[in-house]
Amino acid sequence: MSKATTQNSVPGVGTEAGSTDRHRAVRQWLLRAAADAGRAEQEWRDEGVALLRSGSLWGVVYIDGALVYAAAGTDDPVAADRYLAEVLHGPVFANLMRRAYFVLTPTSTAHRAEWARPRDDAEYMGSGHYLSVPAPGRTDPGQRRYWCVEAARPGALATADAVARLVQAGRDRLVTEQDD
């Protein structure tokens, strides 16, 4: 996955060459989760992130960065991004200041046993949570919030099974490292 970017019309937001139609389609889809689509568009233009609400189009699984890096076997964000793309096949954005990753999943993820009890390292956030979501095309890990793995198309989500496997792999590796 190339991180080469070119600037589009939104200041501070890069796009992978040749993917502006996809970004436009994903942007319109994501805006359906905004309380005020016009305001969200303005936030993306001004800040590069907009407040969107989980629950109607997608759910969100929060994963602590330590868990992601353990599963990926690296603490390099770019290498971790490649790993996430390989194992999740769905959209993920990061807030590197918080060392936090957010995976967009089907809302049915909420009904799985592994998310019945919140944990500090990973949690299904449920419906109605407002999140600062990066604008489509914002893929530079040097930015505070960015897409590690962009949505391939509107409605494309990571599967609950893939997210559960990632979380378990990270937990297993952390336990193994602590035992060594």
Percent of the chain with pLDDT strictly greater than 90: 78
Per-residue pLDDT at 64 exceeds 60: yes
Share the mean pLDDT of the chain.
Answer: 88
What does the alpha-carbon distance between residue 76 and residue 20 come to, in Å, rounded to a whole number?
27
- When pLDDT is cut at 50, 70 and 90, the band that residue 17 belongs to is very low
Asked whether 148 and 87 are in contact (CB, 8 A), the reply is: no
Q: Cα-flanking dihedrals φ and ψ of residue 138, to 5°? A: -85, 95
Is 89 buried (19+), middle (13-18) or exposed (0-12) by CB count in 10 A? Answer: middle
Q: State whether residue 163 is helix, strand or coil.
A: helix
Task: Note the pLDDT tens digit of each residue in 122-139.
Answer: 999 978 899 999 999 999
Spell out the domain ranges in the chain. Answer: 6-179
Q: What is the pLDDT of residue 180?
A: 61
